[in-house]
Amino acid sequence: MAGKDGRQVTGRGGRRQAAEAHARRKRNEEQRARRGWRLWLRRLFIWSGALAVLGLLFVGLAVAFAARSLPSYYQLQATQTGQTIIVRARDGSEIVELGPSYGQWLDSNEIPQVMKDAMVAVEDRRFHSHFGVDPVRLTGAIWEGLTGDDRIGGTSTITQQLARNVFLNSNRTLDRKLREAVLALAMEAKFSKEQILELYLNKVYFGGGAYGIDSASRKFFSHPATELSTAEAAIIAGLVKAPSRYSPTADVDAAVGRASVVLRLMKEQGRIPQNATVDPSAVKLKPESGQNSVRYFTDWALPQLDLLLPETFEPIEVWTTLDVGMQRAATAAIKSNTPNGAQGALVSLDRDGAVLALVGGNDYVETNYNRATEAMRQPGSAWKLFVYLAALEAGYTPDDRVVDVPVTINGWSPRNSSGRNAGEMSLRSAFAFSINTIAAQLGNEVGFGTVASMARRFGITTPISTFPAMVLGSSEVRLIDMTRAFAAVSAKGNSVEPYGILKVTTGEGEVIYQHERARQAQLVPDYVAAGMTDLLQTAVATGTGRAAQIGRPVAGKTGTTSSNKDGYFIGFSSGVTTGVWMGRDDNARVGGLQGGTAPARAFAAYMRYAVKDRPVEQFETELQLPEWQMEPDDEQLFGEPDDYYFIDEQGNLIEPGLGQGGERGVPFPNEGERGPGDFDRPRFPQPVQRDRGDDNQAASDDFLNRATGSGDNRQRSAPPNTAPTPIPPAPRGPSPRPIDY
C-alpha cells in the first residue's frame, strides 16, 4: 500500500483501510439501488393511481350514463320477454301453454320472507352488502381465469343476473361481463335493494316456461307464491342454476337434491334455525295434466299462425279443432297396437277437414319427429284408391267382370300376395281382396299418367312415379295427404282441406282470426265417388280390412309394402276419416306387420270412440250413371230396335252397314281393342231415332249385342288358366322394386 509520501505501506493497518473503503463503496451502491427502487415504486404508484382515477372516472361516467338510460322501475315491471300462446281444444279447454308464462306480480311485502332468504342464500349471500358487483366473487372469477380452477362457483350477483336477464344475453364473453357489471352498478345506483330483489323474483326464469316465482309456484305446486312453504321455496330457489336439469317435472330426484343444498346453505347462514326439519321430498307436486302427444298437433298447427296473423307480440289464445277425448283415444290406440320396435301415426279428419286427432309417434318426449305430417313412406295397396278412381271415371262399374291372370307390363310381372291367380271376378272383389294383377291391368288400360293425375287431384303433393309398379304404391306419400284423399271420397267426391285452427283471440278476447271454410271443388263425379265407396265398403266387410269393423258401416283400404316395412289402414265412417300408419324409422322389416292387422285394429279401437256419439250413416253406393253410360234400351232407344242410326265418338252418324270412317264391313271396335286414351269417351255408340226406310236390319246381331250390352262382351282380359298375357308397353324405365298388396 502506498503511504502519504508515496511509499508502499504494508501491514495490518493498510489492509483495514482497504476493507473500509470497499465497504463504503458497497453501501453507496446499495443506497443508490434503494433510491432507484423507491423512485420506481413512487412512479408506479403515481401512474397506477392516475390510471385508477381515470378508470374510476370512466366507470363512474359509464354507470351514470347507464343509470340515466335505464327504464324506470315501473317500466321494468311491465316489460315481458316473449309471447305467451295458450292453445285450446275445440271445447275451449286449455291443452297446452307455450312461450313464457307470467304469474301475478308480487310486491316486495307480498313475497314470503323465506323465499327471499332462500334465493339470497343460494345465489348471492352478500347481496345486502355489496354495490352490485361482489369483490370476493370477482376475485374468484379472476383466479378461475388464471388457474382454470373449476371449483370456483358462479360469480354473478343477483343484480348482475337481473341485468343479464332483462338487458343482455347469456354469452360467456368478457365484453358481456363488463357490460353486465356496469348495468349492475347502475341498477344499484338507481334502485333500492328491495326493488332489485322484487324485480329479480318476478322476472327470473324457473323452467317449464315459468317466469317469476308466482308462475313457478302455480306450475309446480298448484298455488300462488304467497303460500310457499320453506321446502317449496328451497325447490324454486334451486331451479335458477339450471332450470331444465332441476325442474320437478323433469327430474324429481334432482330437484329434491338441489333443494337440500339450498336448505343447508340457509342453515349455515343463519336464515333458518339449525334444528329446523324440512323435507323437500314430501312436497306435493302438481301432476302433469297435458298429453305429450298433443305437441305433435301443435307442432303442425301453430307454424301456420305466421301466415294467418299479422306480426304481434301480445299474448294470444289459439282455439283449435282438436278433440281432447279423441286425441286420448288415438294415443291409446297407437300405443296399444303398434308392434315392438316400430312407430305409429294417426290422423283423423272431420267431414269438413277439421283435424280431430293427430298422433305423430309413440312418445313425443322420446322423439318429436312427426310421422303423421312429415314422414314420407310407401302406401302399398292403399294407393289403389287412385287406380280404381281412374278406372271408375273411365267407365268401369263395381259389377264389371275382370280376370285375375298372370300379366307382364314392359318386363314387369306383378304377383299377388297369395302367389295364385283366381280367374274371373267382379271389380268389387278384385278391390276387396287387393288383387295386384287386376290393379296392374287397370293402370295400364287407363294410363299410369292418368292414375298419377288422379292422385294429384286428390291432394298428393309428393313426387309420383309413372312406371308400371306405381299402381302398387311405390311412390312415397305423407299420411295426412292420404287421409285427405280418402276424406274427399267420403265427401262424395268434393275436395277436403285439412285445418287445425278455428280462431285466434287476444288475451282480452278480441278475435283477430276466424277460420273460413275453404271453397270445395268437385274432384270426381258423385257416381264415381259412390262406386269407390262401394269398393271400399266391401274391402272392410269381406276383404283385407275386416279387422277394421266397428259395428257400423265402414269403408276403407289396407296397405302393406314389401318385406312388411309399412302398414296402412285408411277409412271412414259417420263423417270421420282416419288414417293409420305403422313402421320403423330406419325402414327395416317389422315381422307380421300388414295393413289388415295392427293398423286396422288401431283404426277400429280409435273409431269406436270417435263415432260413438254420432248417428249411424249408411253409405250412398247406388250408381246414378251419366247418360253416355246408360244402356240404350233403358234411356235412349225410341221405337223399334230397327229404327235408329249410331253415332261415332266424334258425333258423326254411322249409316247402316257402315263401320267407323264410312267403310263398309268394318265393325265397331271391340272394347278390348280400345286404347287407354279412349276411356274418356262413351263406351258404346249412342243411338238416335230415324224414320223407317225399309225392313232390313240396320246392323248385325253381333254388333247390336255389343252395342246394347246384351251380350257378354265386357270381359277385359284373357280367360283364366291361360299363359301370361302381354300388355301393351308403357313408357320405358326401371320398375320400382316393391311389390305391394
The overall average pLDDT reported for the chain is 79
Instruction: Report pLDDT for 166.
Output: 76
Give the burial string for 16-48 (b: 16+ CB within 10 Å, else e).
Answer: eeeeeeeeeeeeeeeeeeeeeeeeeeeeeeeee
Give the Cα separation of 144 and 155 in Å (integer).
10
Indicate the residue type of 504: V
What CA–CA distance (Å, rounded) separates 529 from 513? 34
Question: Amino acid identity, residue 428?
Answer: R
Which residues, including other chains, have CB under 8 Å from residue 450's CB and lie 6 or more apart? Answer: 390, 394, 676
**% pLDDT > 90, the chain:** 44
DSSP string across 516-546: -PPPP-B-S-HHHHHHHHHHHHHHHHTSTTG
* Per-residue exposure over 69-83, b if at least 16 CB sit within 10 Å of its own CB, e if not: ebeeeeebeeeeeee
State pLDDT tens for residues 620-639: 887 676 665 554 443 333 44
In tens, the pLDDT along 391-439 reads 999 999 999 999 999 999 999 999 988 888 989 999 999 999 999 999 9
Q: What number is the average pLDDT over the span 340-347?
A: 96
Cα-based distances in Å from 416 to 249, 433, 434: 52, 10, 8
Average pLDDT over residues 658-686: 38
Higher pLDDT, 698 or 360: 360
User: Is the pLDDT assigned to residue 59 strictly greater than 70?
Assistant: no
Q: Is the pLDDT of residue 598 over 80?
A: yes
Task: Give the number of other Cβ atoms within 10 Å of residue 335's Cβ.
Answer: 14
Residue 101 forms beta bridges with which residues? 210
511 vs 417 pLDDT, higher one = 511
Range from 318-332, 618-632, 704-718 carrying the lowest mean pLDDT: 704-718
Give which of 499, 404, 493, 386 is closest to 447, Cα–Cα: 386
Instruction: Please say whether the dihedral angle defined by the alpha carbons of residues 500, 504, 507 and 511, taken in this order, is positive or negative.
Output: negative
